[in-house]
Structure 1
Amino acid sequence: MASTASLNVLIDLAKDTANEAGKQLQLLTTERNKAESQLSMLHDYRLDYAQRLQKATETGLSASNYHNFRQFIATLDEAISQQNSIVGQMDVRIEQGRQQWYAQKRRLSSFEALQSRQSRQQLVRANRSEQLASDELSANQFRRAHHSY
């Protein structure tokens, strides 16, 4: 069985690794939220521009201005598509980060369970040793009491 000092070192390392995985997961979540925010802004901007185009066509619009509007909206659609891809990639990375964090937490729990089992076994051994010493003391006292007669 691993010594207590070795087990404590493993537990400390596992805690550090789990904490680092947790921090990494937080960073990924923050990045994903930023990407989602940018995607939302692009959608809002596209909607605004589509409404401007609609109003401009109602009041009259030259062909070149109409073409510019449509071209800019197409550019926004491409940016939205790219941002959707980024958000999707971030979702995958977050899930991987979450799995890594869970794995590190399970590893830490295993070490802690091992430490707990080791502590219980040491306590049982100490209790047995104490019981043996007490039994031996009682036996010696009994022998002394019966030898004096």
Structure 2
Amino acid sequence: MAKHNPMHTLIDLTQNQANEAARQLQNLNASRDDAQAQLSTLYVYRQDYVERLEKATASGISAANYHNFRQFIATLDEAISQQNKIVAQLDQKLEQGKQRWFDHKRQLTSYETLLSRQEQERIQRDNRKEQIMTDELSSNQFRRHHNTH
């Protein structure tokens, strides 16, 4: 039975961490897309109200209604500002998530490379041992054959 190499445990753990980082990255990306969609909706909504205000102003509007329109547009501007901050925060988290995923993948590659090197070294050691045993066997057979003659 082959001995368990601790590198396999490290590789498994790191692979799990990379998978989890990828899932988190996917969730962050979806959240960022949703936030961007909400921001776009707010921009469209604001543009619609600006156009309504322009039409109402052209056809005549009371001061109170004009004030209400302006107040509502200001509220939309504030919502847009807040949504821009949310998108920026999600962009930052997304970059951090990408870096975390990349770090785990790089670590995983390092462990796999190290395991591969260990395996190559083990094969070389086994081949050398086998060669030594074969050489000894041949030498012993040669001596026996020459000693009997």
TM-score by length of 1: 0.95
User: How far apart, CA to CA, are the structure 2 residues paired with 1:131 and 1:52?
Assistant: 90
Amino acid at match of 1:134: T
Shift of 1:138: 1.0
1:103-149 CA-to-partner distances (Å, cap 9, x unmatched) read: 11111111111111110010000110111111111111211221111
Aligned to 1:107: 107
Aligned to 2:19: 19
TM-score by length of 2: 0.95
Q: Over aligned residue pairs, what C-alpha RMSD do you find?
A: 1.0
Gaps of 5+ in 1: none
1:55-95 CA-to-partner distances (Å, cap 9, x unmatched) read: 11111111111111110000000000000000000011111
1:139 aligns with 2:139: yes
User: How far apart, CA to CA, are the structure 2 residues paired with 1:67 and 1:34?
Assistant: 32
Give the 3-state SS of the residue equivalent to 2:5 in structure 1.
Answer: helix
Give the 3-state SS of the residue equivalent to 2:84 in structure 1.
Answer: helix
Gaps of 5+ in 2: none
Amino acid at match of 1:148: T
Shift of 1:5: 2.7
What is the total number of aligned residue pairs between the two structures? Answer: 147
Aligned to 1:74: 74
User: How far apart, CA to CA, are the structure 1 residues paired with 2:5 and 2:120?
Assistant: 16
1:32 aligns with 2:32: yes
